[in-house]
Every structure is written in C-alpha cells, then in structure tokens.
Structure 1
Amino acid sequence: MSGHRLTADLAWHTGSAEGSARFTLSDGITALVGRSGSGKTTLARVLAGLHPATRGNISLDGSMLYDGQTGVSLAAGKRGIGLVPQGSSLFPHLTVAANIDFARAPRPAWRDDLIDRLGLAGLMDRRPHQLSGGEGRRVAIARALMANPRLLILDEPTTGLDPARRRNMLEAVGYVASLTKTPVLLISHEREDIQTTATHALLMEDQHLVAAGAVPDVIARMDATP
C-alpha cells in the first residue's frame, strides 16, 4: 500500500495475554480477518482509544494518537476515528434522522444519497427501538460517516443481513469512503463481503497481527492455518 494514512506498531493486554499489531492503512477499504476470538475487535478498540495500549505508537494523517514513550494518548473522542460496533449504540431518545445528523452541520451534499443507498429513507421518523438489528447498524454507519471521521472502523456490519442488503450497505460505504477519501477498516467473516469490497487485508491470529497484503493472499494464509 502507498500513501499511508495510519501507521500502528503497538501492544496491549487482554487479561494475562498480550496482543500486538504492526501495520499501515491507506485510502480505500481494508479487511481485518481472523477466526473468532483472534483479537480483531480488541485491535479496533485499541485504535479507537477504547482499550488501552501498553506500548508502541499510533499515527493518523501525521498526528500522533498514542505514543508509549512520550505519554501521548488522545481520548477516544479526539482521535477522529469512527468505530461502529456490532451493537449499533444509537441514541435511544432520538429519531433516525436526528441520530444521523447528530454530529454534522451543515449537511453534506451526499447526505440524502447516502440515506437512499442505505435504504433508510422510510425510517427517518422512527426511534431505535422500532428498528431491526440490521436497520440499526445501517443507521449507525450513516451517523459515523456523517461525523466526517479520518478513519472508519466497521465491526461485522453485515451480520444478519440478506445478500442484497449486505451488498447495498457495502456499496454505500465504499461510495462515501471514496467521495470523502475516508479509509475504512472492515472487520468481517463474510468471504463475499471481503473479496468484493476490500483491496487489502490484515490477518489476526491468537491476538497478534500476522499477515498483511492482497486479499487472496491473506485469505489463503488464514485457510492454511490449522
């Protein structure tokens, strides 16, 4: 990859185990893959500032987010990273429209196009408790994109969606990511999502990032691991 937007060389602890990762991210969509429990979500939370790193550094667009040597450690809200977890985490007292527009004024020109592409136009007056799990994730992704993040991390965004909805969601994310030049880190176990959406991939095994490269090469490495 060229034109690196994020560089990371860091370690963390989960219980008694240490995790580690050293990689770069560029524009476009990068898949983060690995078996269940391999550390994908923990790595995402460390990058976003929601789980503490123990050493190393994280730099995004030339700004240091974390540096274990100097003591720099920006709070999650100051990192410019939008993390959409497996649970949508929407504001329960706000409508879909208010959730989407919460962090962005004035509205960008692509706002209505994004809503249409995510299939949310008919849901704008609903509250989160009136949404299905898939609808809630789509609203959370729209809200994250509207906040104009410097990096967007999506943790299993298509779980429980039918193939058409999965395809529409990822196409919408790719469209806005390309339009706004926002790099995306996509955590997914769906082979079709990864192979049709991402251009590069990272592989986690036993809490450590062990491979990075083209999607077919990384998937082949994952399949070859016992």
Structure 2
Amino acid sequence: MLAILDYKAGNQTSVRRALNHIGIPNAITADPAEIAASEGIIFPGVGAAGQAMDELTAAGLDVVLKQQVEAGKPLLGICVGCQIMLDYSQENDTRTLGIIPGECHLFNPALEDESGAPIRVPHMGWNRVTPRKTCELFKGISDDSEFYFVHSYFPNPPEEYTIATTLYGKEFCSVHGGPGLWAVQFHPEKSGRPGLKLLQNFYAYCKEAANAQ
C-alpha cells in the first residue's frame, strides 16, 4: 500500500484517483503508524511553500517524513512536495525540509521561450522531461514523453541530485533525488499514460524494496 500524505496542502484526491485507476492500493493518511506500515509514501502538494510547511509542521508530519526517509522508506514528492523536500524556497522566504540539498527559485519572467517571446509565469502545460541519468521511475517511458506542469518556482539542487531536466526559458531540474528518494516538479497523476507508468514504476520499486527487507 502507498501512503498519500495528508497535510491539507496537497492534491491528494487526484493522486488517489490515478492510483485507483491503475489498481495500486493506497490511503490518504496523516497517521504515523499507517505511514510507517506503508510500502512507500507519495508527498503531493499544491499552493505556496510557506503554507505547505506550516501545515506539515503543525501536524508533525515533517518529523514523520524525515524518520521514514532515514529508515529507507521510498518517497515520491510531487510539485510543491518536490520543492519543499529541498533546504529553502524563495516562495514566502521559506526554510523547507532539507531532505535533499538545494533551493527552489522563481522563474524570471524576462526569460524567453523557443520562439523568442517572454515566458509566462506560472509555467502551465505539457513539456518534455529529459532524463540525465538512469532512473527506475522512467523504465518503459519514452525519452520524448511530455508531462503536465503547473508552477512558478523550480527546484535547483546540486548537479549530482539532478535526474532529469526540462526547457522553459532555461533548462531547469524537473526531477531530483536518488534511488528510492525522488521528487518530480510535474504532476504524474495528470500526465496521461507516461505519468501513470511513472507511478507504476514507483510502486514496483516500493514492493521490491519491501520484499528485500
């Protein structure tokens, strides 16, 4: 079972619908015992980094997440969840979880798209995600696949944590982390077949990791 973290700042229901659609058992939960008993955690998020961190810490789920990561529990952060896994976000000048090193930066609206026009902020729509290193999340997914983005800020981790990038005014990190600890800036639950395949790959990794213990 996958635990979808319930901290009042996520898009839990859309993630749950996607998992139900592909037959992956799941629960939306803030219960530390249920989270600990899960095979993996999905950490979704929408809205602002400051509010998300306030909700997370008020519920004590910041401590729960860090404990589970330290214990080796697989974790997948999505959108704001992806951003606040880093050390700091420019949004609301927020000190974030620090599970993965790095910062989250605002897109510069002076940047230009491929046609030479100024980019729109927030970045909304379908864009290609280009893997920079081998990652279990992208097994069976074509390199030219596109995923759905909605965000004004982007993750900026050290290069060794960058797994995939996307071009929007500039090349930015759209997937970061390492084996069993991943964060994606896009919404896999809203990204059609490639997104559903990514969620299937995450669950397959979680089951394999649980069986290995």
TM-score surpassing 0.5?
Answer: no
Q: What TM-score, normalized by structure 1, do the two folds share?
A: 0.32
Q: What TM-score, normalized by structure 2, do the two folds share?
A: 0.33
Structure with larger RCO (C-alpha < 8 A, sep 6+): 1
Max Rg structure: 1
